[in-house]
Amino acid sequence: MGHAVFEWVIAIAVLVVFASNLVFLWRINETLKALMVNSQQMNERLNAMLNEAHGVLSDARGAIAALLAEARPIVRAIATTTNELTDMVHLQALEVRGLLRDTVLVLRNKVEQLDELVTRTTERVDETTATIQRQILEPVREIHYVMAALRRAAGVLLSGRKRSVDRAYQDEELFIG
C-alpha cells in the first residue's frame, strides 16, 4: 500500500512539473506572439513611412525638375540633400531589418535553450524516480520481509504450541528458495 501511495505521489509530482512546464511554454508562446505582432506593426509602420518618404521624394523630384531651368545650383544642392535623405532612410530600414533579424535569432536561441532545459528536467525527473525506486523502495521492501520473518519466528517461539511438520505456515512460502 505504501509503495502505491509513493508511486502516486511521484506521478502527481511529475504531472505538476509537466503542467508547470506547459504553462511556462504557453507563456513564452504568448510572449513570442506579442513580439511577432509588434514587429509586424513596426514593419507596417516602416513600410508606410518608406512609401510616404518615397511619395514625398517623388513629388520633390517633380518640383525640382520644373525649377531646374531657373536655379540649377539650388537644384543640385536639393538633389544632393534628397539623395542623402534617401540613403539615410535606406540605411535606417536596413538597420531595422537587422534588428528584427537579430531579435528573431535571439528568440530562436532562447526557445532552443528552453527546449534543452525541459529535456534535462525530464531526464532528471526520470533519474530521480529510478534512484528512489532503487535506493529507497527496495530496502524498505527488504526490511518489510525481514520484519515479517521476525514476527513469524517470534510467533512460533512464543506460542508454546507445537505444530506438525507437515503443516506449513502461511508466510513461509515467501522465504523458501
Q: What percent of the chain has pLDDT over 90?
A: 19
Question: Looking at residue 100, what is its pLDDT?
Answer: 85
Q: Which amino acid is at 116?
A: E
Q: Residue ranges of the chain with pLDDT lower than 70?
A: 1, 67-69, 74-75, 160-177
d(CA 32, CA 38): 10
d(CA 128, CA 145): 25
Task: State pLDDT tens for residues 106-148.
Answer: 889 988 998 898 899 899 888 888 888 888 888 888 889 999 9
- Torsion angle, CA of 103/104/105/106, rounded to 10 degrees? 50
